Structure 1
Amino acid sequence: MRRSGPLRALLSGATATALAAGLVALGGGGALAAEQAPAHAARHMPAHVVAPYFEAWTGESPAALAAESGNKYLTMAFLQTAAAGSCTAYWNGASTQPIAKATFGRDIAAIQARGGNVIPSFGGYSADTTNTELADSCTDVDAIASVYESLVKTYGVTRIDLDIEADSINNTAGIDRRNKAIAKVERWAERTGRSVQFSYTLPTTATGLAPNGVALLRNAVDNGARVDVVNIMTFDYWDGATHDMAADTKTAASGLHDQLAALYPKKNPAKLWHMIGVTEMPGIDDYGPEETFTPQDAVKVENWAVAKGIDTLSFWALQRDNGGCVGTAGANSCSGIAQDTWTFSHIFEPFARGIRAGIGIGID
């Protein structure tokens, strides 16, 4: 994911300090493999997940904001390496924030105690353009897999997200290493009786993935890496058009469904729809007013998501779910439109129970 200009990820701790905005990727460290499992038993992910992205570099408490907004699940952005060539991942790319209970452990345990969980996310635009996305940075497949495993062992998470875009989505060597590492972790999880899912968060056109996104998934198939969810970023199209954001979410997902059908010919339509996730950007995205996702759009998307039976609804990002900067495009901390705080969280919340949203907003 993104932030300023065409960037699809907020900046990491080190990057955020230097550049003061943007998304960052998470990375892990294999040195923590021996850490004790968290107190709260890991739960399987539910059939329908609402998991907005949480900007982990802000210093805010994910558990507190999850409780305030009513979200049981959060996607934590991001993990990445501190420097290109490293195989050690940190939250926000900051060496002071390793994958350890001391970093976010209390917050994650609190979220789990309330019946939810977090989805650690690697990558994002900042990491994907600086060679600090874990599989771009590290050339050792075993080391990459150890980082993923350390997240499961340390925090008791059951899904890991990989936000691959910009330079990373064209890095064929990194793609191949990442998918080999996914397959390795999945074999480890099966041997040890753990539940671990992987989602890919990818940029999209209004009609489906670009060829490089399809190629990434084809490589996963070829490597025997199970991809549980393909989560498309249905915003920041950068195509010069004015978009009906709800309608284009539906056409983008329909195109993805057809692409998945070609990749997974043994899956029926319902299973293919259940491999799909969508991530919106509430309010005015980085492109500008031509790409504005409104509460009315959110209701339409939530109702469509229930009807289609997709897996995940998300948005970038939880800290933007308020109306504190009307008229501002692509802000980190507000949507740029007039809205009550947590409007988008409340509209998406019924999806987790398979219920269509209403909230007094007209739908079609």
Structure 2
Amino acid sequence: MHLARIAASACALALATAGTVVALAPTSSAAAGSVYSVAPYVDLSNGQEGLLDTAITGHHLKAYTAAFVLGEGCNQIWGDTLPIGADSFTDPEIARAKAEGASVIISSGGSSGLALAWTCSNQSSIDAGYQAIINDYGVTQLDFDIEGAAIADTAAAARQMQAMKDLKASNPGLQFSMTLPVLASGLTNDGVNILKAAKNAGIRIDVVNIMTMDYYAGTGTEMGQGSVAAAQATLAQMQSVDSGYTYANLGITPMIGKNDDGSTFTLADAQTVENFAVQHSVGRLAFWAITRDQACGSGGNSLPTCTEISQNQLAFTDAFVPYEGSTGGGGGGGTTSDFSLSVAPGSASAAQGGSASATVSTSVTSGSAESVSLSATGAPSGVSVAFSPTSVNSGGSSTLTATVGASVAAGSYPITVKGTASTGSHTATYTLTVTTSGGGGGGGGGGSLTNAGFETGSLSPWTCTGGSAVVSSPVHSGSHALQVTPSASSTGECDQTVTLSPNHAYTLTGWVQGPYAYIGVSGGASGSTWSNSSTWNKLTLAFTTGSSGTVTVYVHGWYGQANVDADDFTLG
């Protein structure tokens, strides 16, 4: 997780093949059991572990995820920053929680560490190391948090899936989750490749646990709806790899309170996520972290140990724990048929007399496929919306075509797309922006980007984080370009706020190169696009301003990745 700043040098427990610790509940094989439906993370390195005991004894928490075990060559250690060994702290803490009635998932990896398959290339040692965790802690579930550059290591991912296949063969009932970074638009390509690695190994991941946090899309991001959007998009990606996946194989893990990017996940957002989970029988709800689930003390300003919002102690735990009861403790997977509905792209522009199209996708979320009839409401007079085909079996898709009459007034129109089946209905919003027939982009005027090619040799009026700077090489054109520099624990980002014409369509373009290079807008409009290329490539983003016309244009690179270069922005 983004706030788990783990010091691997403060070594604790060697869990690897050479030896083990005093077993808390030794067992030769994991007992059969279902996925724990509520299992928030506990940072066993930040000095707030007493909150776990309070959550169990006073707030009915039944399961939690202990973070993190780290690979160190072909050995494993607890990533504990305290200057004490695991036998005197981590083991007793886990044993105490178990005695108080809570089950534990052991998590390996994290934002500042790696799971064993990423640090060891010997398959038998990897298998034995993970088996040691199962034996020493008597667990039936393992979690692997894969972030940063690790997620692109396909060889390590293949070793990981082979290990899980081997372990499942020798441990009946063993469950495992893969915790992966996500955007509101779903997994990255590397995340999808993790799913493909499982498919290639002949296994299905029990829980694909998505970190719905730190989108770096602006401080006004609605994090509850962002979690829902990410869940819907991720399930579609999962089912594109293996049609057997359902919401019972999905986990949702937000970061409670303030996030690293300045956005805030509120208690209202928690309710939004829980309502969605109940509706779709989501496999797991978690959050980062119980050891933050409290307001900061006087003068406190420390995201690793508190949420930096006003809240009662363990308020987020109280918000999520009821989901355990709503699922019967089993983590979803009911037999009632249901489906999801999405529209991509979610918005488009069309000139008067023209048309725009989008793909309406459906997927099975539980039970069996069923017939879904498609319809649309909210289109203005003079705009017709058609579907081809007009109905699909859930799992299928249809093409939406919006045809705009010559006299339709320019403006943005939200259109509700509805899918109706015998078991119920779902909707999605498609925003159609009508421009004048001479039109295109912004309807004219309203400001533009300054220093868009960085040819002044300075950043102004762009504002940047970290070590980002204007450089003379590499450049796309001219003599200067921008270099955005992420760190191991945070993104690098440069922003420029501009005032454009209100309620008009614009197109932002920019040339970028580097891993996970993003351009986007926030504030009075929201959207982003990205690429992952070692050579210059052009990114294009269409958006529509709100009533103020003011937006913030940004470019950023993801934490834990190399520099991102950007040049030659246009906005029109």
TM-score of the superposed pair, with normalisation by structure 1: 0.80
1:342 offset after TM fit, Å? 0.5
Residue 301 in structure 1 maps to residue 289 in structure 2: no
> 2-side partners of 1:93 and 1:294: how far apart?
29
Report if aligned partners of 1:48, 1:310 keep a CA contact under 8 Å in 2: no
Structure 1 residues 326, 261: closer, same or farther in 2, change over 3 A? farther
Matching residue of 1:73? 63
Residue 53 in structure 1 maps to residue 38 in structure 2: no
1:107 offset after TM fit, Å? 3.2
Matching residue of 1:170? 152
1:70 offset after TM fit, Å? 3.4
> 2-side partners of 1:225 and 1:34: how far apart?
30
Aligned residues: 324
Matching residue of 2:90? 104
- State which of 198, 207, 211 in structure 1 corresponds to 2:185: 207
> 1-side partners of 2:232 and 2:91: how far apart?
38
- State which of 218, 223, 226 in structure 1 corresponds to 2:204: 226
1:116 offset after TM fit, Å? 2.6
Matching residue of 1:216? 194
The alignment partner of 1:50 has SS state of coil
The alignment partner of 2:9 has SS state of helix
For residues 33-67 of structure 1, give each alpha carbon's deviation from its aligned partner in whole angstroms, at most 9, with x where no partner exists: 69757179976544552111111113535762442
Matching residue of 1:21? none
Matching residue of 1:121? 107
Matching residue of 2:248? 274
Report if aligned partners of 1:287, 1:329 keep a CA contact under 8 Å in 2: no
1:306 offset after TM fit, Å? 1.1
> 2-side partners of 1:27 and 1:341: how far apart?
34
Report if aligned partners of 2:41, 2:67 keep a CA contact under 8 Å in 1: yes
Report if aligned partners of 1:12, 1:78 keep a CA contact under 8 Å in 2: no
* Stretch deviating more after TM superposition (211-220 or 320-329): 320-329
Within-5 A mapping of 1:187-336: 187-190=169-172, 195-240=173-218, 242-265=220-243, 267=244, 272-288=246-262, 291-324=263-296, 331-336=303-308
Matching residue of 2:5? 10
Structure 1 residues 169, 302: closer, same or farther in 2, change over 3 A? same
* Stretch deviating more after TM superposition (319-328 or 344-353): 319-328
Q: Which amino acid aligns with 2:70?
A: Q
Unaligned residue ranges in structure 2 (runs of 5+): 329-572
Higher helix share: 1
The structure, 1 or 2, with the larger RCO (C-alpha pairs under 8 Å, 6+ apart) is: 1
Structure 1 residues 326, 283: closer, same or farther in 2, change over 3 A? farther
Matching residue of 2:166? 184
Larger Rg: 2
Q: Which amino acid aligns with 2:18?
A: A
Within-5 A mapping of 1:128-147: 132-147=114-129
> 2-side partners of 1:303 and 1:332: how far apart?
27
1:322 offset after TM fit, Å? 0.8
> 1-side partners of 2:26 and 2:106: how far apart?
18
> 1-side partners of 2:214 and 2:76: how far apart?
27
Q: Which amino acid aligns with 1:72?
A: K
1:13 offset after TM fit, Å? 5.3
Q: Which amino acid aligns with 1:53?
A: Y
Higher strand share: 2
> 1-side partners of 2:298 and 2:212: how far apart?
21
TM-score of the superposed pair, with normalisation by structure 2: 0.52
Matching residue of 1:341? 313
> 1-side partners of 2:204 and 2:233: how far apart?
20
- State which of 21, 42, 53 in structure 2 corresponds to 1:64: 53
Unaligned residue ranges in structure 1 (runs of 5+): 4-8, 18-25, 357-364
The alignment partner of 1:307 has SS state of helix
Report if aligned partners of 1:325, 1:335 keep a CA contact under 8 Å in 2: no
For residues 201-221 of structure 1, give each alpha carbon's deviation from its aligned partner in whole angstroms, at most 9, with x where no partner exists: 000010211111000110111
For residues 136-195 of structure 1, give each alpha carbon's deviation from its aligned partner in whole angstroms, at most 9, with x where no partner exists: 2111111111111111111111110000010100111211111111111111114xxxx3
Q: Which amino acid aligns with 2:155?
A: A
> 1-side partners of 2:50 and 2:17: how far apart?
25
Report if aligned partners of 1:164, 1:200 keep a CA contact under 8 Å in 2: yes
Structure 1 residues 27, 81: closer, same or farther in 2, change over 3 A? farther
Structure 1 residues 326, 144: closer, same or farther in 2, change over 3 A? farther
Report if aligned partners of 2:44, 2:80 keep a CA contact under 8 Å in 1: no
Q: Which amino acid aligns with 1:141?
A: Q
1:27 offset after TM fit, Å? 8.2
Structure 1 residues 96, 321: closer, same or farther in 2, change over 3 A? closer
Between the aligned residues of both structures, percent identity stands at 32
Structure 1 residues 287, 63: closer, same or farther in 2, change over 3 A? closer
For residues 6-40 of structure 1, give each alpha carbon's deviation from its aligned partner in whole angstroms, at most 9, with x where no partner exists: xxx4324536x9xxxxxxxx984123469757179
For residues 261-307 of structure 1, give each alpha carbon's deviation from its aligned partner in whole angstroms, at most 9, with x where no partner exists: 11222x2xxx510000010111110001xx21111111111111111
Report if aligned partners of 1:13, 1:57 keep a CA contact under 8 Å in 2: no
Within-5 A mapping of 1:345-360: 345-354=317-326
Structure 1 residues 187, 48: closer, same or farther in 2, change over 3 A? closer
Residue 152 in structure 1 maps to residue 130 in structure 2: no
